[in-house]
Amino acid sequence: MTVLNKPFNTLYNTAPFSKIKNEDFLPAFKAAIEKAKNEIDSIVNNSETPTFENTIEALDYSGEELDRISSIFFNLNSAETNDEIQKISQEVSPLLSEFSNDITLNEELFKRVKAVYDSKDDLKLTTEQATLLDKKYKSFSRNGANLPENKKVRLRAIDKELSQLKLKFGEHILAETNKFEMHLTEESDVSGLPEGAKEAAKQLAESKGKDGWLITLDYPSYIPFMTYADNRALREKLSKAFGSKGFKNDELDNQNIVLKIANLRFERAQLLGYKTHAHFVLEERMAQTPEKVNAFLNELLEKAKPAAVKEFEELETFAIDLDGIEQLQKWDSAYYSEKLKQKLFDLDDEKLKPYFKLENVINGAFTVAEKLFGLKFEEIDTIDKYHNDVLTYKVVDAEDNLVSIFYADFFPRAGKRNGAWMTSYKPQMIKNGMNERPHVSIVCNFTKPTKSKPSLLTFNEVTTLFHEFGHALHGMLANTTYPSLSGTSVYWDFVELPSQILENWCYEEETLKLFATHYETGEMIPMDLIEKIKASATFHEGMQTLRQLSFGMLDMAWHGTDPTKITNVKAQEVEAFGETQLYPDVTENCMSTAFSHIFQGGYSSGYYSYKWAEVLDADAFEYFKEQGIFNKTVADKFKTYVLSQGGTEDPMTLYKKFRGHEPKPEALLRRAGLIK
């Protein structure tokens, strides 16, 4: 028995990272799967009449050990992986997919679930219990429980293959990201780069025994170079390297994987009686149908495109006037946008960064959470962590009750995938009369401190930290009975509301005064800079909106149609981008082959939800603005109806309880400056 299969005798029942060895995982998974199977068997073999308690509730509480091991393992595979862990994930994923199918295709178990479901009108269930029953029944019916045997066999095979393909996709992207290095030795090559970015690139080169500077595809290296480097040819080289991940017809190529995933998802949907994968997915979303999603995207496109085209033409004229650029290309986008922004607003990220020392921004986020929701964060060093960079906190409420354990992991490293995300190591639930509190984590990739400077964030990174922290609050403040309905276990197009709404506070003077102080002098961020941040908030909003819409449309092009005739990934993508394209296409580049959100993560048929949730968050934040951004009454309502309810009730019902009406898209268009 491994350390993972025993009770963790640790403070707050936290994961014992330092005691876990890689070789523990496979046997731990196998033992936990056996244990979970026995728990399922005892539900199936119960001689009593199926009831909500002995069937639905028992099912939701089953597999707790397996879930815990899975969350530890797959979080490490994202944040601290290595060849060994990746190899184990390829062995474990099919086992988990098989086990999941063993449950949903278990006829005797389904009979019991169906018996409870069919008698639901006679049961006096709470809203949460009714939701759980509905969800459990659908988890069977939507995963093949009503299929004949031969189709069940095919479904199992599809699920097994998909789980492996998604992992392979992600491994290729991580390997591509780690493989590329741009080694620069001439001072002129790094002309334009801010001092902090140069120092970080120099330190990276030194760490690998090289002179000069090293630029990589990790965001803290890639973004500053694309934004500030004067050398256009080097920007082009870096941009093409970034945009061609998984698209080089080599051993890390993802084109066939993309086609296979799209086709398997389509076949799976058809087996289950749905027109496409998107029809299957959206049945369990606020948006409900692909038609509604496409209408939503097209409505925003109609409003945003004129603004985007105008912004693009202005940028083109600016680049011609400044440097005589004949044709604006993708690798010019961030560079000239930044120059134009500086000209229009006299606002430079480098002027802002000294006011956004990472530690101060973290404390700012904590202060906002305290003012809104009464939470207090205390750093503790008595719990185990999986890497020295990780910070650990105990979160308590005003009465000093434990709310959550919080992990924060901020810097890039070789075993960590790019981007930023929130996750959890232990869910919240109420079991045997005990309210088990969650263990929540956020992972980001910010610039590391250098010898001379602490970690200083761009304003964009400040909003990223607040975004992920918003997800974390959704996890921390969970207060539901059942684990599968807890925290962020909500409809996918609702899950971004808590994260996106929190970004709004970053633009408010009242918030910035809490934490934006100069890391050397301690002086408060000047008012004129705050004004400029607010004024520039809608800069190039048309182009930004078009970009987000293009990703949503690409997602729907893969998942909302029959993909069986698609043979060329790039051609499919070019067609999908038709209505949103501003820059000339780059032949060597392809987004789909590195679109991890939809081919590795959980966003397939769901990328539109970022924009969907923006409508929710703009509408919700207008409420805060009307009453005061730290208004206790509004904050309490948001906590009660949005943050603590998880997936216990239909999200639109919860939203209306908080806001008093359905969200209005005009709030988003107003905030974006796209309508007056």
| DSSP string computed for 77-135 | HHHS--HHHHHHHHHHHHHHHHHHHHHHT-HHHHHHHHHHHHTGGGS---HHHHHHHHH
Q: Mark whether 135 and 226 lie in a shared domain.
A: no
Q: Mark whether 503 and 381 lie in a shared domain.
A: yes
Residues 395 and 27: their CA atoms lie apart, in Å, by 33
Residues 109 and 610: their CA atoms lie apart, in Å, by 37
At 22-61, the pLDDT tens digits run 999 999 999 999 999 999 999 999 999 999 999 999 999 9
Residue 67 covered by a domain? yes
Print the domain residue range for 66.
3-104+106-142
Residue 13 covered by a domain? yes
Q: Mark whether 430 and 503 lie in a shared domain.
A: yes
At 137-164, the pLDDT tens digits run 999 999 899 899 999 999 999 999 999 9
pLDDT value at residue 601: 85
Which positions of the chain have pLDDT values less than 50? none
Out of 118, 142, 166, a domain closes at 142
The answer to whether the beta carbons of residues 183 and 209 sit under 8 Å apart is no
Q: Mark whether 134 and 203 lie in a shared domain.
A: no
Distance (Å) of CA 360 to CA 103, 188, 197, 653, 672? 47, 34, 20, 37, 28
Among residues 64, 171, 350, 468, which one is catalytic?
468
Instruction: With CA atoms as reference, report the closest residue to 581 among 347, 385, 308, 350.
Output: 308
Q: Mark whether 136 and 194 lie in a shared domain.
A: no
Residues 651 and 25: their CA atoms lie apart, in Å, by 37
Residue 635 covered by a domain? no
pLDDT value at residue 675: 82
Strand pairing report for 213-215 and 376-379:
unpaired
Specify the CATH number for the domain of residue 505.
Answer: 1.10.1370.40
Out of 511, 539, 567, a domain closes at 539
Angle CA(120)–CA(126)–CA(129) in degrees, nearest 5? 65
pLDDT value at residue 56: 98
pLDDT value at residue 655: 96
Q: Is 291 a catalytic residue?
A: no
Q: Mark whether 194 and 66 lie in a shared domain.
A: no
Residue 341 covered by a domain? no
Number of domains in the chain: 3
The residues, ordered by sequence, that sit 6+ positions from 447 with a Cβ below 8 Å of its Cβ are 196, 197, 200, 220, 411, 455, 456, 457, 461
pLDDT value at residue 241: 98
Q: Mark whether 125 and 186 lie in a shared domain.
A: no
Q: Mark whether 72 and 187 lie in a shared domain.
A: no
Residue 461 covered by a domain? yes
Angle CA(438)–CA(443)–CA(449) in degrees, nearest 5? 130
Angle formed by the axes of helices 290-323 and 609-627, nearest 10°:
80
Residue 65 covered by a domain? yes
Q: Mark whether 135 and 185 lie in a shared domain.
A: no
Residue 385 covered by a domain? yes
Name the CA dihedral angle for 186, 187, 189, 194, rounded to a multiple of 10 degrees: 150
Residue 224 covered by a domain? yes
Q: Mark whether 77 and 202 lie in a shared domain.
A: no
Q: Mark whether 85 and 194 lie in a shared domain.
A: no
Specify the CATH number for the domain of residue 125.
Answer: 1.20.1050.40
Angle CA(644)–CA(420)–CA(283) in degrees, nearest 5? 55
**Residue 176 token pair:** 């591509």
Q: Mark whether 201 and 138 lie in a shared domain.
A: no
- Which long-range contacts link 25-31 to residues 24+ away (Cβ below 8 Å)? 25/69, 25/73, 25/85, 25/88, 25/92, 26/88, 26/91, 26/92, 27/2, 28/2, 28/4, 28/69, 29/66, 29/69, 29/70, 29/73, 29/92, 29/95, 29/96, 30/95, 31/1, 31/2, 31/5
- Which long-range contacts link 341-349 to residues 24+ away (Cβ below 8 Å)? 341/536, 341/539, 341/540, 343/318, 344/536, 344/539, 345/532, 345/535, 345/536, 345/539, 346/532, 347/529, 347/532, 347/533, 347/536, 349/194, 349/227, 349/458, 349/459, 349/460
**Residue 439 token pair:** 């263990």
pLDDT value at residue 664: 85
**Residue 398 token pair:** 């005003």
The answer to whether the beta carbons of residues 546 and 591 sit under 8 Å apart is no
**Residue 434 token pair:** 């005990």
Name the CA dihedral angle for 468, 473, 475, 479, rounded to a multiple of 10 degrees: -170
Residues 22 and 73: their CA atoms lie apart, in Å, by 9
Out of 93, 122, 142, a domain closes at 142
Is residue 142 helix, strand or coil? coil
What is the pTM assigned to this prediction?
0.87
